[in-house]
Structure 1
């Protein structure tokens, strides 16, 4: 794996959802680095990607309430254990479960394994609430997929909070997991 500055020189053959991410970051004037890789399906894959990016890619979980009337995208450090009960209590929700691949595709235009904060750019009706573990914000840079798991990006955490999320029309709920 190699680290590149910005978008690929040639985006032919790239999925539209990935190119839209590069378009957004470029339009916002955000400096970012990218690496391409095999699909990140294991922790070992993620460890190799993290080493190239020199940042820990967040664990991103797509969740919903029991009635499937409220959806959440949780960003948390990959090394933290996830306890549904703890998060549900902080959100004031009786019960949380994982959202379906169909809802993930419909709301964020991503598929399992490719869930990313960047998918919120496709949630124009704000049906998905972003939830961020405060530990994610402690790093100078953040790592994420550009809506597919064969590339990974890194950019300033401050750019996520001050430019990307406002441009997407999303505000996070901060939690302690």
Structure 2
């Protein structure tokens, strides 16, 4: 993985090689008066890649999972700590939705305009029909800063979680569901 060693403030100056949805993220953040720093890098595919980016970014990066029920009638974007294991059963119990699985790349593209590896809270701006419910694991909701991709995994933004919760989400009309996912697997006796 290659990371540009400088953390930039704001949007890139040369935007001709950037995806339209990435530019739309910068446009909306700027419109809402949400400041951000940016780190550019080669594609980040894993949480291990994100751990390296965090050192330059200066903010934790969470795991972003796009999920759906079996019937594909309910979709969710789950933000949780990167190293925390994901257990479908625990989340299903808390949100009252059984048989959760990962959403297909086609559904991610249709509702959030992202591809696998690029899911982000910022992609909710494209979910005009409010088909995707945001779920925040409580520790992530309590972070001061959050690192997330601008709908492409070759850049990562350092944002204020307070601005995300108090400006970005209200602008979109999104009310997150808060959950508390366990750190470790409970032993069965």
Shift of 1:152: 0.2
Of residues 131, 135, 138 in structure 2, which corresponds to 1:134?
138
Distance in 1, matches of 2:159 and 2:117, equals 20
2:187 counterpart residue number = none
Residues 30-109 of structure 1: pairs in structure 2 closer than 5 A? 30-109=34-113
Shift of 1:10: 1.8
TM-score, reference length from structure 1 = 0.98
- Structure 2 residues without counterparts, runs of 5 or longer: 182-189
- Give a deviation string over 1:30-82, Cα, whole Å, max 9, x none: 11000100000133321111111111111000000111100000000101110
2:8 counterpart residue number = 4
Residues 151-170 of structure 1: pairs in structure 2 closer than 5 A? 151-170=155-174
Distance in 2, matches of 1:154 and 1:84, equals 28
Residues 21-36 of structure 1: pairs in structure 2 closer than 5 A? 21-36=25-40
Distance in 1, matches of 2:64 and 2:47, equals 13
Q: Tell me, what secondary structure is at the counterpart of 2:101? A: strand
Provide the aligned C-alpha RMSD in A: 0.8
Distance in 2, matches of 1:168 and 1:131, equals 15
Q: How many residues align?
A: 177
- Structure 1 residues without counterparts, runs of 5 or longer: none
1:15 equivalent in alignment to 2:19: yes
Distance in 2, matches of 1:71 and 1:14, equals 27
Q: Tell me, what secondary structure is at the counterpart of 1:12? A: coil
Distance in 2, matches of 1:36 and 1:109, equals 20
2:152 counterpart residue number = 148
Runs of 4+ in structure 1 off by over 3 angstroms are: none
* Contact 2:47 2:63 (C-alpha < 8 Å) held by counterparts: no
